[in-house]
Structure 1
Amino acid sequence: MSSGSLYVIKLGSSTIVNHPHIFEEISLIVKRGNQVLLVAGGAEAIKQKYESIPRTMPFLTLPSGDEVRYCSPEEMPIIRAAYHEIILPTIHTQLKDYGLSVYSQLGGDQGLVYGEKAKPLKVIKDQKTIIVRDSLFGHFVGSHVAFLKFALQAFDVVCVSPPILDPELDVYINIDADVLAAHLAVDLEAHHLRFVTGTAGLLEDVEDKHSTIESVYTNDELSFVKGRMKQKVRAAQLAIQQGICDVNITGPHTLEAPGKTWFWNMDRELGAFDLLNKVARIPSVSQDEHVLAHYLLETIKQPSVSAEIDHAGNIVFRKGNGPNTLLLLGHIDTVPHVWPVRSDSKGITGRGIVDAKGCFVNFIHMLQEVEVPEQGSLLVIGAVEEEISSSKGAHFIRDHYKADAVIIGEPSGVESLTLGYYGLFKLEITIHRAQEHTAAKDSQSVIDELYSVVSDIRVLVRDIDPHSLSSLIDIEHHNERGFLTVKGTLNFRISPAAGNDYQKKIDLSFGENVTVDILRATPGFSNSRTGSLVKAFVRSFAKQEKSIHYIKKRGTSDMNTLATTWDSVPMVAYGPGDSSLDHTNDEYLHYGEVEETRTILKEAVNEWFRLRLEE
């Protein structure tokens, strides 16, 4: 029962029936706050059902040589029974053991998922081509998205399986479960799509269980793929072309093992921008950074670089073990609303590409490009939850790591260096009182009262910080049993000049019906233009024949969180991108800017180590 990111997970019946540990992995996804839609296959259960009758399971041979199950009107009740009696009860039982609520049904029940019966099949029988007209196989047309979204809100896990319904013929029709999963992922705008199989992803050689193909690109030739794996590949390609989700085939019978084949809707030959394009294509909305963090953990393999995911969920790389530590701190989460990532010859668009995946990928490249001296240590961290009030990743870093200087990965543009940020003072205002007639004498609605309180608070904050900015960003209102409640979220951007204890100067008492809770009170921070860190950038800019422009931003970053206790540690922010595009639907990053900032960053990092060792 969550409004988090949506995972669509297709499980084969062998995994469902014979490998119950998969349900523990699914429970962990739910417990991280995500929604899960399971799409269940049925081959193993259908086989068991036929054996229990007993009855021979009929197959058809296609001209390609592939065999498919013959699903005539006489066979359809047996197929439906296999799902009702074996697959769905098994899923219910396993997930309930982990305390999860489950809703499940055949896709065709009540026409939840509907399609169209396929044309008559050409098949080979006795070495002759014949036409089979009564095969109840079909293709996907659509689903009742609103109902599925409601069910995903109401239950921890929703499970849908074939067959689906042909509403014109009013008959159930069979559909490949992999293809069904792909279509539902597209319909529901899922963030992640997984095909769990019995092998370690897609194998180049089916006889070699270690021959996993790590990545499949748009125009890759896959003629070696045989049998049932063809449908998984077809479904994966459909999803990356039409959906917003990241896609992989994973196994054997697990979501978490390294045996994965990722499918990318991008060209193979992107060179220095390959990682950037892949990171952009893995959705990582705040509190759903797990997939991206683990992808980076499994992908960035260098002999001189250690890697781990810490207890907060941050992805942490370290190169060198010397006492002089430079921290490159980016964040891997984004704000919500994910759209399909698209690349052209000049750049890339997608959620978070400016704020701030482009910056963090540049940091990762430093692990390979920078020669860390013996007395130095380069720490590269991708923090979680930077885009929400918790700042979980940055708080953990502040309390558990140490550094002598910090470069924050946020967009500044090629020729600017960010020296500081405004702080964030975030309030939740709640007004709760009995309802009254709006025509009553001196009556004031709770919403009007909220606006009045907001106005008063704005005056109080301006008195201690004339440079502050404010925005009422959310209002909720409801009437329950004769009592009215309104909640408003009020944000202030607080200038560094207000100091660290500004909130203590503001009286937020407004009477018994009004409660004001402080959700966050992070002070502003501004770094000096002197010192070795800024000097390192000055020299790097000069080497590229560029003049440096110093800026202070009115937003807030993880720099502010670190500065609450790391007040003597020099910090700046630098990275590619136009920050005016942050959080918009127009995020676009130019490859040329990525290259230029990467060059300047590399030289600045090298120069900082040189200056540090001279001190």
Structure 2
Amino acid sequence: MNAIELTRELVAIPSHDSEAAAGDYVEDWLREHTDAAVRRDEAGADEGRGGNVFARKGSGEPTLALVGHHDVVPPDDSQVTDSGEYVIEERDGRIHGRGTADMKGALAAAMVAFAEADPACELVVASFVGEEVGGVGARAAIDDGFGPDYAVVTEGSTGYSGPQTTDVAVAHKGRRGSTITASGEAAHASEVEQGENAIYRATDAVGIVRDLDFPSTEVLGHEMRGSVAVTEVEGGSAMNVLPERCGLTVDERTVPGERAPLSRVEEVPGVEWTVDQDLPPMACGDADFADAVLDAAEAVQEASPEHVVKPHATDAGWLSEAGTDCVICGIAEPGEAHTANESASLAVIERCERIYRRLAESFTG
């Protein structure tokens, strides 16, 4: 079975409510098509996710992992039939449907490359659960001891330096989502001196956020700049009542080693700051590994790929934080994932399979 055929098989399995069936398929396929040691863990078992899937072959050092995930975000209505099956169409050299770009096409490419490669090192393929909900599977795997020396996370890196060029991302931003809560004292709006306006306190906090410097850093010669923005405001109960509470949400895009000093908002009386989610950024710390992946990518395409950076958080952030040197190389293009028109190039699926196999057969650390 080639990577395109396997993509069709994987995309046909709904995996937004539960990815257990997709995980079953990945596990069974690896057992049938390889002689590798295959195992399944219990990550996300309490939510019916079915667990991560791992396969390992080859020996020696270092350990190189090809990492993907088999969960997807909920499909658009147009991507599902009345009976609940995923709609899959092929036209104009692309395969359309939920999960084609993010990221079953790249997972299929990684599985086929793993099966066919004669690796120069220990080679692992891993498919995680719960990537779309904060890295459930990746975090569980790391807690259970998963720690390859190097990893290619097969998220999208195509179309960054040029159309249809499959690049190699050496870094990506993280995301920290937080809540600012301003508390006051309610009073009738005709007697403002009897209360404390929570919206005014929240406004003071907004002023602090607005004046913060965005964090920045450099990774392998590439500048990365984060951002901070207040994105939602909720407060007040009636036109004639001073509000006793006002809540703000803040979206921060983080860069490796840096965070905006959002705790400064607590200098405002009655204001509390709470971190709700913190998806870590990723930075490759091994230039030789990044170059080796770039060499593999360049060898199998006419275009000249480049090292790039991505704006989006991925499971590479969790692996990088745990000590694995990561890059990102995959089929998805900017704007493809999570859309009603999600699709993946058939040619790029095949290209990524060749990149992964070439790297596995040449990389010795």
The answer to whether TM tops 0.5 is yes
Q: Does 1:596 align with 2:341?
A: no
- 1:32-66 Cα deviation digits (max 9, x unpaired): xxxxxxxxxxxxxxxxxxxxxxxxxxxxxxxxxxx
Tell me how far apart the structure 2 counterparts of residues 354 and 452 of structure 1 sit (CA, whole Å): 42
- Normalising by structure 2, we get a TM-score of 0.77
Match of 1:360 among 107, 111, 120: 107
Change (3 A) 1:308 1:589: same
In 2, Cα distance between the equivalents of 1:510 and 1:420? 33
- Aligned length, in residue pairs: 331
516-525 or 355-364: bigger deviation: 516-525
Q: Does 1:344 align with 2:90?
A: yes
TM-score normalised by L of structure 1:
0.48
- Deviation of the 1:311 alpha carbon: 2.7
Listed as ranges, the matches of 1:84-483 within 5 Å are: 272-285=3-16, 288-300=18-30, 301-312=32-43, 313-338=51-76, 339-340=79-80, 341-345=87-91, 346-373=93-120, 376-389=121-134, 391-399=135-143, 400-413=145-158, 414-438=165-189, 440-441=191-192, 450=202, 452-460=204-212, 462=214, 467-473=225-231
Distance 1:475 1:441, change over 3 A: closer
CA shift for structure 1 position 288: 2.8
Deviations along 1:562-613, one digit per CA (max 9) or x if unpaired, are: 22230xx4321001121222232221112122112222222122221xx33x
Structure with greater contact order relative to length (CA < 8 Å, sep ≥ 6): 2
In the superposition, relative to structure 1, how do residues 284 and 488 fare at CA in structure 2: closer, same or farther (>3 Å)?
A: farther
2:178 is paired with a residue whose SS is strand
Q: Is the Cα–Cα contact under 8 Å of residues 304 and 320 in structure 1 kept in the other structure?
A: no
1:553 equivalenced with 2:310 (yes/no): yes
Deviation at residue 528 of structure 1 after TM alignment: 5.2
- Matched residue, 1:607: 362
Separation of aligned partners in 2, 1:279 and 1:448: 52
1:582 equivalent in structure 2: 337
Give the structure 2 partner of residue 162 of structure 1.
none
- Paired with 1:521 and 1:473, the residues of 2 have a C-alpha distance of 16
Between the aligned partners of 1:296 and 1:445, the Cα distance in structure 2 is 56
Change (3 A) 1:457 1:546: same
CA distance in 2 between counterparts of 1:406 and 1:530 reads 13
Q: Given residue 364 of structure 1, which amino acid in structure 2 is its aligned partner?
A: M
Rg: which structure is higher? 1
Deviation of 1:525 (Å) = 3.1
Query: Per the alignment, in what secondary structure is the counterpart of residue 581 of structure 1?
Result: coil
Structure 2 residue corresponding to 1:538, chosen from 295, 302, 307: 295
1:493 maps to 2:253: yes
Q: 1:516 to 1:562 in 2, by over 3 A?
A: same
Q: Does the C-alpha gap of structure 1 residues 453 and 278 become closer, same or farther in structure 2, counting only changes over 3 Å?
A: farther
- Alignment root-mean-square deviation, CA: 3.3
Shift, 1:475, TM fit: 5.5
SS of the aligned residue for 1:295 comes to helix
Distance 1:495 1:271, change over 3 A: closer
Question: Secondary structure at 1:516's aligned position in 2?
Answer: strand
Task: Tell whether the 8 Å contact from 1:422 to 1:495 is kept in structure 2 after alignment.
Answer: yes
Check the 8 A contact 1:355/1:579 in 2, yes or no: no
Alpha-carbon offset, residue 555 of structure 1: 1.4
Displacement of 1:468 after TM fit?
Answer: 1.9
Report the CA distance between 1:370 and its aligned residue. 0.9
Counterpart of 1:291, as a letter, is A
Q: Report % sequence identity.
A: 22
Distance in 2 (alpha carbons) for counterparts of 1:477 and 1:359: 44
* Inter-CA distance 273–476: structure 2 relative to 1 (3 Å threshold): farther
Paired amino acid for 1:601: Y
Displacement after TM superposition at 1:476 (Å): 5.8
1:412-448 deviation digits (Å, cap 9, x = unpaired): 1143111101122221223455544455537887567
Distance 1:603 1:438, change over 3 A: farther
Task: Please tell me the residue identity of whatever aligns with 2:72.
Answer: T
The answer to whether the 8 A contact 1:461-1:506 is kept is no
Quote how far apart the aligned CAs of 1:284 are: 2.4
Query: 1:479/1:295 Cα in 2 relative to 1: closer, same or farther (>3 Å)?
Result: farther
CA distance 1:441–1:585, change in 2 (3 Å) = same
Matched, 1:524 2:272: no
Distance in 2 between the 1:572 and 1:517 partners?
Answer: 31
CA distance in structure 2 between the partners assigned to 1:429 and 1:505 by the alignment: 9
C-alpha contact (below 8 Å) 1:405/1:533 kept by paired residues: no
Alpha-carbon shift at residue 557 of structure 1 (Å): 1.4
* Cα distance in structure 1, aligned partners of 2:18 and 2:182: 32
